[in-house]
Structure 1
Amino acid sequence: MIAYVTVGADDIAKAERFYSAFLPSLGYRLEEYQGDLSYILPEEPGQSSVQPDFYVKSPFNGQSASAGNGAMVAFQARSQKQVRDLYDAALAAGGSDDGRPGFRAAYGPHFYVGYLRDPHGNKIALFSSDPDEPGRDG
């Protein structure tokens, strides 16, 4: 089980503006620790976390943050509309487009996804795959 995912950021304030534009709508709460950001999902008493936490940190080695080529973090939304809404909020909060929300021929007929880059170049996906919503072919 993946416990957490971390991306690097040189400007924590820009990163907070970007990630706080959509992660709270997906159930994450923000905790700051020593100047870095921790987006935490709630846990039920007596239960372990089901999904990983998401951390935004200055690189430990003191070098500039850089985006990994081929690396991406995907967050699941509740609906296609939420994908669009959160995608727009993330763009308005300093993100950049890396693939407008929609269906992709390479994926299943209900996989609806939008791709973004955070202010530091990290690739983020927002997706929904609800079979009760209209699919690519209908």
Structure 2
Amino acid sequence: MIAYITVGADDLARAKRFYSAFLPALGYQLKEGPAGLSFSLPVKPGQSPVQPDFYVKPPFDGRPASAGNGSMAAFEARSQKQVRDLHAAALLAGGSGEGQPGFRADYGPHFYAGYLRDPQGNKIALFSSNPNEPGRDG
């Protein structure tokens, strides 16, 4: 199980604006601290933490942050409409498009995804695989 994902950011205010445009709608709560931004899913009393957490932090080595080639974090939405809405909100919040929301032929008939880059260049996917919605072939 993946416990957490961390992406680097040189401008935490820009990163906060971008990630706050869609992660709260997916249930993530933001905690800010001197080390950066921490997004996590809420934990009910007596419940184990829901993972993974998602962290946005300046690099520990003090050098500029850079996006990993081939690296991507994917967040699951509840529906195709939510993918479209959150993709649009993230673009308005400083992201750049990396693939409009839609079905992807290389994946299952219900895999609906939109791709973005955050202001630092990290690749982000928003997707839904809801079997109760129309699929690519229907």
TM-score bracket relative to the smaller structure: over 0.9
Write out the 4+ residue segments of structure 1 that deviate beyond 6 Å after TM superposition: none
Residues in 1 aligned to 2:92 and 2:55: alpha-carbon distance in whole angstroms: 21
SS in 2 for 1:22: coil
Q: Does 1:28 align with 2:28?
A: yes
Q: What is the letter of the counterpart of residue 85 of structure 1?
A: D
Residues in 2 aligned to 1:51 and 1:88: alpha-carbon distance in whole angstroms: 25
* Cα RMSD after superposing both structures: 0.8
CA contact (8 A) 2:98 2:117 kept: yes
Q: What residue is the counterpart of 2:17 in the other structure?
A: 17
Alignment of 1:1-138 (within 5 A): 1-138=1-138
In the TM superposition, residue 46 of structure 1 has moved relative to its aligned partner by: 1.7
In the TM superposition, residue 43 of structure 1 has moved relative to its aligned partner by: 1.0
In the TM superposition, residue 3 of structure 1 has moved relative to its aligned partner by: 1.2
* Alignment gaps of 5+ in structure 2: none
In the TM superposition, residue 35 of structure 1 has moved relative to its aligned partner by: 5.0
Of 107-116 and 40-49, deviating more is 40-49
Q: State the identity as a percent.
A: 75
How many residue pairs get aligned? The number is 138
Of 83-92 and 49-58, deviating more is 49-58
In the TM superposition, residue 120 of structure 1 has moved relative to its aligned partner by: 0.3
In the TM superposition, residue 31 of structure 1 has moved relative to its aligned partner by: 0.4
